[in-house]
Structure 1
Amino acid sequence: MTSLSLPLPVRVPAPLRRLSRAASLAAALGLAGCATPVAGPGPQDTAFVVIGEDGAATARVITGGAACPPLTVDNRSLPMRVRVPRSSVPARPGQAAGPASAAVLTCEAPIAAGSAVARVGGRPLPVPRAQPGRIVVIGDTGCRIKGEQAQACNDPARFPFARVAAAAAAFKPDLVIHVGDYHYREDPCPAGQAGCAGSPYGYGFEAWAADFFTPGRTLFEAAPWVLARGNHENCTRAGQGWWRWLDPRPFQAGRDCDVPANDAVGDYGDPYAVPLGNGAQLVVFDTANTSWKGFAATDPRRAAYAGQYRKIEALARRARYNIGVGHHPLFAFGARRDANSGEVSLFGGDAGLLDAFGDVDPGYLPPSFGMLLSGHVHLWEQVSFASGHPTQFVAGFSGTAEDTAPLPAAPPPGRAPAPGAIVEHMSSWVGGFGFMTMERTGADAWRVSVRDLDGRERNSCKVEGRKSVCALAQVR
């Protein structure tokens, strides 16, 4: 599998010169990889496997071609169906005018459990494992261009997601978990900023490709993905791309974030479970529309997330041991540095989710949850509790400009990320890019490693049930 990248100088074959003007433009953008019904995905197309409800695996292809490529599973040819017809991402009413979006076709087909080999257009795809024992966790991977905040997207040292993806692929995972926030190139690069000059921007496929599909291609080839939705993928931001390309469920018109009047539907997705075998499962939930400021009692979002908690609770009954996957951490700390005094202060878990989930359960998650995997805060962090709360890991350190305000080796006495939580152990890495790995050592036990850009282990943690402890309190 490969993914879209910036165009390279190539000799255009005669058949491509006969394409329509629109298709020729797509080819110039590196998008015309599948021009005939029998062609496989071209060298610039994106192909990956996404895991959804009950562990169902779906092969997905995004192409600038005219038709879906063939999928072969265990030597059986399967047609790929059209998820979204060849089209551009329409501008939302009231959205600032940006560059025109290239038209792409999105295709998909199921890969049955127990399949041994899958290929799309002759190219290999990773197949799901019933009991994944080696897991990569990444998050917050895009390159931030928002207003005057301009990350140096053209510098691999400043935007290292491609390097992170390659190192994570070398770990040879059985599964990749992305904890959300894929798309960050929202605005044009500010004038005079050489580090991001020429970057695509806006909410069309070009910006998505530059942020996620192109730099992530080596990791797409390594393993199937579980994808959590972040706040950058809510309807007022990159939600259109989320529903078209990443969400594991069937595409639904009206739930596509195209029309603001439908955002009350498009801003939410139901939680789902992914079995891990031996009595364990992931429970993936959509937190895209929460607010770190919290919710008033009358805010409809508070009722919506309380309803989501009840669905999470029902899913949790299916397994003895649950691992939550949601973008916004409930039980972690972040830090802010005052611009004038330089003083660092801590803030706790997402107030909106704590409000809504706490309306249903004062513990915020069912007691069968042993671990919560999140992003949103741009660092790596582990927190374990003397109270009955699950271990929290934050892996928002895989590409986006990192937080720099330091976390303490331990919180001040009495300080907690959520009401009632009593911190027992804490570890962090602030200012470094990398990824996290999980290797299963028992029914509810894991060895967690914190790895840098080159895959070198910088810290290790032991997880048993709800408890965890790491070798280092702080990675330097």
Structure 2
Amino acid sequence: MIHPILRPLAVAAVLAGCASLPSEPRPDAAFVVLGAEGAPIARAVTTAATCPAITIDGRTATMAVRAPHGPIPLRGKDHSASHHADAVSTPVLSCETPLPAGVKQVSVAGQPLPLPAAEPTRIVVIGDTGCRLKGKEFQDCNDPRAYPFARVAASAAAWKPDLVVHVGDFHYREDPCPADRPGCAGSPYGYGWDAWNADFFAPARTLLAAAPWVIARGNHESCARGGQGWWRFLDTHAYDPAANCDDPATDERADYADPYAVPLGGGAQLIVFDSANTNWRGFKPGDPAIARYTDTWRKIAGLARRQRYNIAVDHHPLYAYGASRDARTGAVTLFGGDAGLTQVFGALDPRLLPATIDVLLSGHVHLWEQTSFTSDHPTQFVAGFAGTAEDIVPLPKTPPAGQPPAPGAVLEAMSSWIDGFGFMTMERTGPEAWRVIVHDRDGKERNTCTVEGRRSRCAVPQV
């Protein structure tokens, strides 16, 4: 028995001992993604050998393994867009737990996770977020002015969204930084965890903590590029060790995934579809991708019949412009939507997407853009301006007559912002109405738009 005089000292000693006990280390990343029907999934990525604990409404359990602990294996020089045998891939473990409906509180290793709103009305849209290290194009990843994704993510988080939509291309650090480029010196590269963490998870930390995410797969996440990390960390479909981009022999399966819907309430939904393996030149006869994307279109059409108002989400624009400049002559050439998808979808419907799709959110082109039509085509927004080195060839205020961005499309309104980093927000103002704001990296408003049904109009044609 402890003497009453000594009792406070004993209590203090016990408390000191408890304080010295090691707490469970937090994972390198913890976040929530929304899958089919908007089902929330808690994810964690950790370099530890075991999955962390998850606490759901006061009950604690260990998260399930999604992809086992280990380095992401090299695919080989004949099967990878950028093969570097010396690229570092720290062993990593991917974990997940589906969250039950009506959950009130969730934390992973003591870190609270955001939960989905029943009817999200404030949506952040970002895309093309990684730092480009490839071929002859090298971005200064160490310079927050040249690579501002962390700042963009923090500003978007401060807007307090209910939902974040990423329109694809997360991973860009494919080749080593040249010795004469101090702006990217020391950057990890290749397709392992180190490059993925530097390119996405570390700079996105504040925004991952702010709201659940809906994510589309970009061409940078195809199997020949960052697909192994895509399947381990981000894709909301079940993980298949036999079709996870590790083995090039299974790429025909692993490069495609079924579309799915995320309800927004009030008769509206997002429809997310995978366009990672399309071909901007178009497909040759007999290409297996034709059958795959035909199946994608039919499944999109089936999903779109379920709600009155449909916003499609993919990586490749169908109804927008890009521009390129001839290095020798300086001549500017406009190009329209993705040729591969236009070819396959156009064979099923001249409008490309089913008639029940009202808006398309995409990335791929490194700018912000809006197009709206008097013809029966969806409004298109392109939000590929959140971090990757920008496209700097300007778009015209009014494109030349006879050059629509999609077959048969009659342009009514167009707006763009070239060479400016930022994010887009959508705030719902009615059953089929949205207020869209284009923000710069610091959150300042640079343009505003209204969406009514499938038509949109912006305050200024060019920022």
- What is the TM-score with the length of structure 2 in the denominator? 0.93
Match of 1:82 among 48, 65, 71: 65
How far residue 123 of structure 1 moved from its aligned partner, in angstroms, is: 1.2
1:367 to 327, 336, 355: 355
8 Å CA contact 1:335, 1:347 repeated in 2: yes
Of 205, 213, 227, which residue of structure 1 is paired with 2:215? 227
The 2-side partners of 1:51 and 1:41 are apart by 25
The answer for the alignment partner of 1:382 in structure 2 is 370
* 1:50 equivalent in alignment to 2:33: yes
CA contact (8 A) 1:114 1:129 kept: no
> How many angstroms apart in 1 are the aligned matches of 2:369 and 2:49?
45
- Aligned match for 1:215, one of 193, 199, 203: 203
Classify the secondary structure of the residue corresponding to 2:347: helix
2:32 corresponds to which letter in structure 1? Answer: V
Deviation at 1:39, TM superposition (A): 5.4
Mapped contact 2:88–2:188 kept (Cα < 8 A): no
CA contact (8 A) 1:111 1:127 kept: no
Aligned residues of 1:41 and 1:63 also touching (Cα < 8 A): no
Note if 1:402 corresponds to 2:390.
yes
AA aligned opposite 1:304: R
Please tell me the residue identity of whatever aligns with 2:249: A
> 1:188 pairs with 150, 173, 176, which one?
176
CA distance in 1, matches of 2:97, 2:227: 22
1:124 aligns with 2:107: no
Deviation at 1:113, TM superposition (A): 2.6
TM-score for the superposition, normalised by structure 1: 0.90
Residue of structure 2 in register with 1:170 after alignment: 158
Aligned partner letter, 2:393: A
Partner of 1:427: 415
Alignment of 1:63-102 (within 5 A): 63-94=46-77, 95=80, 96=83, 97-102=85-90
Counterpart of 2:432 in structure 1 is 444
- Map of 1:7 onto structure 2: none
SS in 1 for 2:358: strand
CA drift at 1:62: 0.5
> What pairs up with 1:302-313 in 2 under 5 angstroms?
302-313=290-301
User: Cα deviations across residues 357-405 of structure 1 (Å, max 9, x unaligned)?
Assistant: 1111111111111100000000000000010000000000000000000
Contact 1:98 1:201 in 2 (8 A): no
Quote the Cα distance in structure 2 between the aligned partners of 1:305 and 1:164: 33
Are 1:277 and 2:265 matched, yes or no?
yes
* Counterpart in the other structure of 1:206: 194
Distance 1:233 1:185 in 2: 12
Cα deviation 1:327-378 (Å, max 9, x = unaligned): 0000000001111111211000001000011111111111111100000000
- SS, match of residue 345 in structure 2: helix
Matched-pair contact (CA < 8 Å) for 2:40–2:116: yes
- Any gaps of 5 or more consecutive residues in structure 1? 1-35
- 1:59 partner amino acid: A
Q: Which residue of 2 aligns with 1:15?
A: none
Residue 393 (str. 1) matches residue 381 (str. 2): yes
State the identity as a percent. 63
Query: Which residue of 2 is the match for residue 153 of structure 1?
Result: 141
User: Could you say what secondary structure the match of 1:261 adopts?
Assistant: helix
Query: How far apart, in 2, do the equivalents of 1:447 and 1:73 lie?
Result: 35
Match of 1:60 in 2: 43
- Aligned pair in 2 of structure 1 residues 138, 71: CA closer, same or farther (>3 Å)? same
How many Å separate the matches in 2 of 1:435 and 1:77? 36
What residue in structure 2 maps to residue 460 of structure 1?
A: 448
What stretches of structure 2 of length at least 5 have no aligned partner? Answer: 1-20
SS at match of 1:360: coil
Aligned-partner Cα distance in 2 for 1:98–1:467: 50
Superposed CA RMSD: 1.3
Q: 1:328 aligns with which of 276, 293, 316?
A: 316
What residue is the counterpart of 1:256 in the other structure? 244
How far is 1:255 from its partner? Answer: 1.5
